[in-house]
Amino acid sequence: MAKSKILITGGTGYIGSHTAVELINAGYEVEILDNLYNSKRNVIDKIAKITGVRPKFTEVDLMDLAALKRVFAEGEFATVMHFAGLKAVGESVEQPLKYYEINLEGTINLLKCMLEYGVHRLVFSSSATVYGDQPAPLNETMPTGSGISNPYGWTKWMIEQIIKDVCVAHPEFSATILRYFNPVGAHQSGLIGEDPNGRPNNLMPIIMKVAQGEIPELSIYGNDYDTPDGTCVRDYIHVVDLARGHVAALEDLRSGVKIYNLGTGKGASVLEMVKAFSQASGRPLPHKIVGRRAGDLAEVYADPKKAQAELGWKAKLDIDDMMKDTLNYLECQDAKE
Ligand code: UD1
């Protein structure tokens, strides 16, 4: 018998689709909402191919409150997992109002529907960006909201606050906020992975484009940081580990707000990532050192102990798995063309 039904907003996106797969594999019934702004409808076919179960999909924009209410009226959801939102850091600096409007209003509409239709369980996709510029390792007791360098990051911080306030006003509400570090990699099937529309901004999608010859070389933003090799250090986490963290969070939801880092606790530098990718592909990855990118921090990595202690979740896949699965995804994409 299917376990309780989960609504996934942004479920055709990178993290949402991997989470849908893990939820279905764990026996949950999943319904996906997406406006397909930065993802493709055929992701649903791929989820069906991986799991043997086709989730119900509705193309809805969270800004369309009337359409969202119709979904809730029919859905009988036990829990909402909220991934939908805009996430391009650079674009958020250029178009702040678009980010505040869409990310905040979309979430507020979702929360209105949850309250109106008696759905009181929420898992929210937040980001380590809320810690701002504090020294790593970052843990959940640290203050947030100082040194956030872009409107995208502020929307995550503000949504966390909105969720906390809703939980105070509605004690029947349970919410878990997951702060992601740097998700990379792809599903082992090679069917789903990161496939952003337009020009990528994050490291791995750019490395993928360089490997495919679509971008001539990777520009490494600075090698004069106070880190072992001078390039920035991040906590890269395999997207399948991240997705499994959502299942663990769901199974532990209880009233009030809980916050967890989802990271590995281990930092890797940009040069280490380049080396690992070259080793996995057997080919050098063209790269050059350029100046620093505004807003980048030298070292960002998680203290992941709380999720392990309370959720029993720990990242298991390493950088070699991340590279191998990224390459497999690229090969599967190329084979289709
Ligand atoms: C960024 C955002 C973060 C967001 C995350 C996922 C900032 C300060 N942080 O994290 O809020 O949650 O993306 O969208 O913008 N790099 C290069 N060359 C490139 C691209 C990246 O050297 O062409 C380096 C960066 O300097 C960084 C690392 O690779 O050290 C990772 O960059 P990126 O993937 O953009 O993630 P973050 O900057 O960590």
CA-closest candidate to residue 126, choices 232, 263, 313: 263
pLDDT at residue 44 in the model: 98
User: What mean pLDDT comes out for the span 164-181?
Assistant: 97
What ranges make up the beta strands (E) of the chain?
A: 3-9, 28-34, 56-59, 79-82, 121-127, 174-180, 182-184, 218-221, 233-234, 236-238, 256-262, 268-269, 287-290, 299-300
> Which residue has a Cα nearest atom 11 of ligand 1?
129
CA of 208 to the centre of ligand 1 (A): 15
Read off the tokens for 32: 């996906």
pTM assigned to the model:
0.97
Q: Is the pLDDT of residue 93 over 80?
A: yes
Q: Work out which ligand 1 atom sits closest to the CA atom of 292.
A: 26
CA of 310 to the centre of ligand 1 (A): 29
Quick check: CB of 129 below 6 Å from ligand 1?
yes
Quick check: CB of 220 below 6 Å from ligand 1?
yes
Q: Is the pLDDT of residue 3 over 80?
A: no
pLDDT at residue 337 in the model: 61
CA of 302 to the centre of ligand 1 (A): 15
Q: Is the pLDDT of residue 273 over 60?
A: yes
Q: Is the pLDDT of residue 334 over 90?
A: no
Q: Is the pLDDT of residue 29 over 90?
A: yes
Report the mean per-residue pLDDT for the chain. Answer: 96
Q: Is the pLDDT of residue 1 over 50?
A: no
Q: Work out which ligand 1 atom sits closest to the CA atom of 233.
A: 30
> Which residue has a Cα nearest atom 15 of ligand 1?
89
Read off the tokens for 191: 């069917």
Quick check: CB of 285 below 6 Å from ligand 1?
no
Q: Work out which ligand 1 atom sits closest to the CA atom of 87.
A: 14
pLDDT at residue 196 in the model: 76
Active-site annotation, residues: 152
Read off the tokens for 143: 């203050």
Quick check: CB of 270 below 6 Å from ligand 1?
yes
Q: Is the pLDDT of residue 303 over 70?
A: yes
Own/partner long-range contacts of 245-248 (Cβ < 8 Å, ≥24 apart): 245/178, 245/307, 245/311, 245/313, 245/315, 246/19, 246/22, 246/23, 246/81, 246/123, 246/178, 247/19, 247/22, 247/23, 247/26, 248/307, 248/311, 248/312, 248/313
CA-closest candidate to residue 196, choices 23, 186, 279: 186
Name which residue leads in pLDDT, 155 or 254.
Answer: 155
Q: Is the pLDDT of residue 282 over 70?
A: yes
Q: Percent of the chain beyond pLDDT 70?
A: 99
pLDDT at residue 199 in the model: 82
Quick check: CB of 221 below 6 Å from ligand 1?
yes
CA-closest candidate to residue 329, choices 149, 172, 207: 207
Q: Is the pLDDT of residue 215 over 80?
A: yes
Quick check: CB of 219 below 6 Å from ligand 1?
yes
**Model confidence over 98-139: pLDDT tens digits?**
999 999 999 999 999 999 999 999 999 999 999 999 999 999
Q: What is the DSSP string of 22-88?
A: HHHHTTEEEEEEE--SSS-TTHHHHHHHHHS---EEEE--TT-HHHHHHHHHHH--SEEEE--S---
Q: Work out which ligand 1 atom sits closest to the CA atom of 204.
A: 34
Q: Is the pLDDT of residue 292 over 60?
A: yes
User: What mean pLDDT comes out for the span 198-215?
Assistant: 92
Name which residue leads in pLDDT, 335 or 57.
Answer: 57
> Which residue has a Cα nearest atom 9 of ligand 1?
129
User: What mean pLDDT comes out for the span 65-88?
Assistant: 97
